[in-house]
Amino acid sequence: MSTPFEKPQIISHIQKSLNYTIFDCKWIPCSAKLVCLGNRARGTGVLQIYEVQGGELKLNREIEKAKPFKCGTFGATSLQQRHLATGDFDGNLHIWDLEAATEPLYSVKAHKEIVNSLDGVGGLGVGDGAPEVVTGSRDGTVKVWDPRQKDTPVANMEPGAGEAKRDCWTVAFGHAFNQQDRCVCAGYDNGDIKLFDLRNMAVRWETNIKNGVCCVEFDRKDIDMNKLVATSLEGTFHVFDMRTQHPTKGFASVLEKGHKSTIWQVRHLPQNRDVFMTAGGAGNLHLWKYDYPAQRSGEDSEGGAVGVAGTVNLLQNVTLSTQPIASLDWSPDKQGLCVCSAFDQSVRVLIVTKLNRV
């Protein structure tokens, strides 16, 4: 049995039980530390900073706030500052200096209801252009914020009067390869995926994948948009090739059914955009690799360009927990290191081996 060791292995390195419900965990860039965001039983929000130290997670700092945290990102801050943007159950967007977190650096009542998801771009050397945070909420709106502008968003994507409000479950930035171009992708509970072009301030593309969209992510935020993965409530996910947009067919995609339950998260490996991991509702993780087709665009019957999707190959799958894995984050600095949190109130640091050989 030599073959199993040729594949990447997912190794559970550290497991830490917590005394609160954890919703999100993120590596702090340029460090061996991570933040955990969650909800205490008494209804307050908690933010913990752990440091990986010799096979242990050592608690560095704990901050408690009035409202439970739902999500966080470092995407819109510089590598020197590393300020954390968070969204909470009350619809607030805060930006914290983790060294002095008594008062937020930036605070706005962003939404009427819970902020389900947020994403940042323009910081960490990722993407040219202004630092911006996008938030998606149960109130059906998606808003883009610039930390330099108080109180009002720079863009607001909301249903018009009379249109049904759908719960926005996930948002992601992409296409930020120069100072002007930038896109936001949002996924809704009815299976809608919408791509907003922030340069033209218009919806560039929309589709429906029939099941609620749990997570969307571009393979990289700071390149000309290349691929988009969207995961669904029913255990399938789509990989869209974002290079060629057909006027009627839109983007080509490949559908893959990996999990038997909801896919909560998808995260691309920061060191290789064609490798990504999905986290499922049954506590399992699947590691995938996307293979490009020989030609990425072909011709339709009228001679117009139409995209061609590639194939997705499973590299490894493991079961970690009986509860859903709600968040997943690759270390931007150390290839193969990732952290995930599950609803069994624990956070796990994983090592994925042999990623450089896939």
Partner 1 sequence: MSVSEVSSLLNRDNTFSATLDHNGKVPVEHLEYGYIEKCKDVKHLEKILRVLRSGEEGVYPHLNQFCEDRLKSLDPTSRALRKEQPVATAASLPTEEWSQICEDLQRWQEESKDLEASMLKPSIFHGIGNENVPPVRGTDISVPLGQNPASKAKNKPPKRALPLDYKDWDKYDVDKECEMIDGGESKKDPAAVINSGHVKIRTRVDVTTLTEKEKLLMASREKDKGNEAFRAKGYEEAVAYYTRSLSIVPTVAVFNNRAQAEIKLQRWHRALQDCQRVLELEPLNLKALLRRATVFQHQGSLPLAAEDLRAVLRVEPHNTAAAKHLTEVDKKIREGQPELPIKGRKILIQDIEEDEEEAEEHARPVDPRQPVGGVDSVVSPVERGDMGNAQKKPYGGGRGDGASPHSDASNGSHGHHRRGRGGSWDKHKAAAHESPGPGKAANGTGKRGSTVSEPGAAKGGRPAGVDLDAPCGALPPPLARLKNEGNLLFKNGQFSDALGKYSQAIAGFTESGIDSPEDLCILYSNRAACYLKDGNSQECIQDCSKALELHPFSLKPLLRRATAYDSMERYRQAYADYKTVLQVDNSVQAAHDSVNRITRLLIEQDGPEWREKLPDIPLVPMSAQQHRREEAPTPEVLQARAEKAAQDTARRSELRFTALKQEGNEFVKKGQFQDALGKYTECLKLKPEECTVYTNRALCYLKVEKFAEAKQDCDAALGLEPTNKKAFYRRALANKGLKDYPASSSDLQEVLQQDPGVQEAEKELEEVTALLRQSLASGASPRKKVPITEVDGDQDRSTADSAPRPQEGGAINMQPADAYEFGQSLNAARSRGDAAACADLLSSVDPERLPRLLSNQLDGHVMGFVLEALDEHLLARDPGRVYRLLQSLHIAERFAVVLMLLETAERRRVTQLFEHLSAAQSDDFTKDDVQNLANKYII
Q: How far apart are CA 257 and CA 81, in angstroms?
A: 40
The number of C-alpha atoms within 13 Å of 18 and in the hemisphere containing its C-beta is 32
Dihedral sign (CA 92, 171, 273, 176): negative
Can you tell me whether residue 208 is helix, strand or coil? strand
Q: How far apart are CA 16 and CA 277, in angstroms?
A: 21
Among 56, 15, 65, smallest CA distance to 283 is for 15
If the CB atoms of residues 105 and 351 are measured against partner 1, the closer one turns out to be: 351
Q: Contact region for partner 1 (CB under 8 A) — 66-74, 171-179, 228-236, 322-330?
A: 171-179
In contact, 184 and 196? CB cutoff 8 Å: yes
> Taking CB under 8 A as the rule, which mask of x and - marks residues 239-278 in contact with partner 1?
---xxxxxx---------x-------------xxxx----
Q: Rule CB under 8 A: say whether 180 interacts with partner 1.
A: yes
Q: Contact region for partner 1 (CB under 8 A) — 68-76, 78-86, 90-98, 110-118?
A: 78-86
At 2, the amino acid letter reads S
Q: Rule CB under 8 A: say whether 59 interacts with partner 1.
A: no
CB of residue 38 vs partner 1: minimum separation in angstroms?
22
Can you tell me whether residue 167 is helix, strand or coil? coil
In contact, 187 and 170? CB cutoff 8 Å: yes
If the CB atoms of residues 39 and 226 are measured against partner 1, the closer one turns out to be: 226
Residues from 5 through 44 that contact partner 1 (CB under 8 A): 5, 9-13, 30-32
If the CB atoms of residues 53 and 66 are measured against partner 1, the closer one turns out to be: 53
Can you tell me whether residue 357 is helix, strand or coil? helix
If the CB atoms of residues 40 and 273 are measured against partner 1, the closer one turns out to be: 273
CB of residue 195 vs partner 1: minimum separation in angstroms?
9
CB of residue 44 vs partner 1: minimum separation in angstroms?
29
> Taking CB under 8 A as the rule, which mask of x and - marks residues 105-144 in contact with partner 1?
-----------------x--xx-xxxxx-----------x
DSSP state of 18: -
Q: Rule CB under 8 A: say whether 322 interacts with partner 1.
A: no
